[in-house]
Amino acid sequence: MRVVVVGAGLAGLHATELLRAAGCDVQLIEGGHRPGGRVRTVRAPFAGGQYAESGAEWVDATHDRMLAQLHRFGIERLGPGEQWTTIRRWIHRNGEMLSPEQVRLADPNVYDELDRFDGIVEAAAAGIADPACPQLHAAAAALDAQSLADVAQQANLGELARLFRWRDSQGEFAEEPSQVSLLFVAQQRAYHAAHSGGRTVLSHRVAGGFSGVAEGMAAGLVGVISYGEHLIGVQQDADGALVHTDRRTLTADHVVLACSLVPLRSVQFHDQLPPALHAAVHQLGYGTVTKTSVQWPRRTWPAGYATTSGTAQRVYEPTVDQPGETGILMAYCGGDGGREWATLVEAERLALAAGEMRAMHRIDSEPLGGFSRAWSNEPRFGGSYAVYRPGQVGAYWQVLREPWGRVQLAGEHVAACTGYMEGALESAETVVARIVAAG
C-alpha cells in the first residue's frame, strides 16, 4: 500500500513509523526544514547551554504515548513536576507579587469562587461517558452553546478569581473565555479524569527539550521525509489518490493530512470537500500563543509561576530545573493578548517582555538574549492549537474524525487529547489502524 503523509510533526512522524512497520510504502512531505512542527526547542541564543521551548513544554504523567517516546529516546523528565492547580495561584498585581496565601488575604472569597467555577465544569464533565465522544452528552447542545465566559458569570467571580480564570483560558486554550465551548472544556476534563484515576497529575519539562523526540523519530526516516516540500492539492477517485506538491505529483492509496487545518484552507481539493467537512476545516477555532523568553545573568526572582494583570499574562522560569547562574523567564500570552503581541516585531516583543519582567521581579541587570515566537504568524501553523468554540463540538467533532474516502486527517485537533503532543500521537494510531484495516 502506498501512503503519502503530509506534515512531519509528531502525528505525521508517528503515523509514518507505524505505517512502515505495517509494511506500507510511505512518503512523508514536510513544508519546513526540520521535524517536530509545534515541538521546537530553542537553544540559541542562550548562554551556558540553557534552552527553552517555543512550542510544547510539558508532558503530563498520564500521557502514556509521550512517556513511551521519551523512554525510547532516553529523554529524562526534569524536576519534581508541577501541579497546575496550585502553581498557578501566584499573582502579580498592582506592582506587588502575592503568594497563594497573600491572595487569600487580599480576597478571602477568591478560592471559593474558583471552586464554584470548577464545580460547573466538573458537573458538565461528569455527563461525558466517553471522552472521545463528547457529542453524546445528554445535554450536549446546551453545554456546547455556552462558553467559559458564561460559566464565569454563573460562578459570579470577583476581580481576582476572574483574572485567574481569564489567564487560565488564555493559557490553556489560547483563547478568550467567550470563545471556548463549555462542552469542549468538559471533554478535556473528562479525558483528564479518565486517565488520572483520581490521582494528582504532575507535569514535567524534559532534559534537552522535546525536539529530541522528533529528531529521534526523524533520524530513522532518512530518505522517507522530504523537507521544504509543500502540499498544494489532493485528488482522489476509485483507483487512488494524487497528491500535488510544489515539486511533483505523488500517487497513493491513502493520504494522511497530519497538519493543522489552517494551511489546509489554501490546499486545492479537486473533488470539493463535502460541505460539513469543508465548514469544519475552514471554521474550527485555533488559539493564539506568543511565547517570549528572555535570559538574565542571575535568577533574582522567587520560584513560582506568576499570573500577572500585565500584558505578559503569565511569567515563569523554564530553566528552573537547568543548572547555571543565568536563568530564562518566559512570557506566555494567549488569546487576544497573544494576538496583540503577534502584531509587534520580535525585537519589540522582547523589549516589552523584558520591561514587564524587570518590573515584576525588580531585576536591575541587562538581558543576555532571547526569542519570541508568535505561532499565529507562521502560515504552516496559523495558530497554537485547536480550540472548539461555542457550537463547534456539535458541528465539527465527528466529521473531522471520519475518513473522507482515501483521505484522513491526523493531528492534535482530531484527537481525544486535543491540543497536546499526546493527542498528535493518538491521532496517528487511529488513522493507521483504519488504513491497515482498509487494506
Ligand X SMILES: Cc1cc2nc3c(=O)[nH]c(=O)nc-3n(C[C@H](O)[C@H](O)[C@H](O)COP(=O)(O)OP(=O)(O)OC[C@H]3O[C@@H](n4cnc5c(N)ncnc54)[C@H](O)[C@@H]3O)c2cc1C
106, 97 contact by CB (below 8 A): no
Rounded to 5 degrees, φ, ψ at 373 are: -125, 125
Q: Does the footprint of ligand X cover residue 81 (CB under 6 A)?
A: no
Q: Does the footprint of ligand X cover residue 30 (CB under 6 A)?
A: yes
Q: Does the footprint of ligand X cover residue 15 (CB under 6 A)?
A: no
Q: Does the footprint of ligand X cover residue 385 (CB under 6 A)?
A: yes
> Which part of the chain contacts ligand X (CB under 6 A), choosing from 89-97, 112-120, 271-279, 376-384?
376-384
Q: Does the footprint of ligand X cover residue 204 (CB under 6 A)?
A: no
Binds ligand X by CB under 6 A, chosen from 132, 152, 180, 231: 231
Q: What residues pair up with 234 in beta bridges, in sequence order?
A: 243, 269
Binds ligand X by CB under 6 A, chosen from 160, 213, 243, 258: 258
Q: Does the footprint of ligand X cover residue 394 (CB under 6 A)?
A: no
Sequence letter at residue 147: S
Rounded to 5 degrees, φ, ψ at 243 are: -115, 115
Task: Please report which helix (H) or strand (E) contains residue 237, including its range.
Answer: strand 231-237
Count residues near ligand X (CB under 6 A): 39
Q: Does the footprint of ligand X cover residue 432 (CB under 6 A)?
A: no
Rounded to 5 degrees, φ, ψ at 368 are: -90, -25
| Nearer to ligand X among residue 176 and residue 422 (C-beta) | 422
Binds ligand X by CB under 6 A, chosen from 91, 261, 281, 421: 421
From residue 308, alpha-carbon distances to 178, 210, 290, 305, 429 in Å are: 20, 27, 15, 10, 39
C-alpha triplet 217, 220, 224: angle, nearest 5°? 100
Q: Does the footprint of ligand X cover residue 284 (CB under 6 A)?
A: no
| Nearer to ligand X among residue 81 and residue 157 (C-beta) | 81
Overall size of the chain counted in residues: 439
Q: Does the footprint of ligand X cover residue 371 (CB under 6 A)?
A: no
Give me the least distance between CB of 252 and ligand X, in Å please: 15
What secondary structure does DSSP assign to 37-67, as a single string?
TT--EE-TT-STT--EESS---EETT-HHHH
Give me the least distance between CB of 413 and ligand X, in Å please: 7
How far apart are alpha carbons 323 and 332 in whole angstroms? 22
Q: Does the footprint of ligand X cover residue 310 (CB under 6 A)?
A: no
3-state DSSP assignment of residue 5:
strand
Give me the least distance between CB of 216 and ligand X, in Å please: 15
What secondary structure does DSSP assign to 113-159, as a single string?
HHHHHHHHHHHHHHT-S-TT-GGGSTTHHHHHH-BHHHHHHHHT--H
Q: Does the footprint of ligand X cover residue 244 (CB under 6 A)?
A: no
Give me the least distance between CB of 28 and ligand X, in Å please: 9
| Nearer to ligand X among residue 57 and residue 144 (C-beta) | 57
Q: Does the footprint of ligand X cover residue 37 (CB under 6 A)?
A: yes
| Nearer to ligand X among residue 143 and residue 255 (C-beta) | 255
> Which part of the chain contacts ligand X (CB under 6 A), choosing from 68-76, 130-138, 146-154, 373-381?
373-381
Give me the least distance between CB of 200 and ligand X, in Å please: 18
> Which part of the chain contacts ligand X (CB under 6 A), choosing from 112-120, 254-262, 345-353, 357-365?
254-262
Q: Does the footprint of ligand X cover residue 263 (CB under 6 A)?
A: yes
Nearest CA among 55, 58, 59, 57 for reference residue 40:
55
Q: Is the dihedral of CA 210, 212, 213, 218 positive or negative?
A: positive
C-alpha triplet 321, 204, 178: angle, nearest 5°? 120
Nearest CA among 305, 62, 43 for reference residue 188:
62
Nearest CA among 332, 364, 40, 382 for reference residue 210:
40
Give me the least distance between CB of 107 and ligand X, in Å please: 29
Ranges within 160-199 binding ligand X (CB under 6 A):
none
Q: Does the footprint of ligand X cover residue 9 (CB under 6 A)?
A: yes
Give me the least distance between CB of 138 and ligand X, in Å please: 29
Which residues are at the interface with ligand X (CB under 6 A)? 6-12, 29-32, 37-39, 55-58, 230-231, 258-260, 263, 289, 291, 375, 380-381, 384-385, 411-412, 419-424
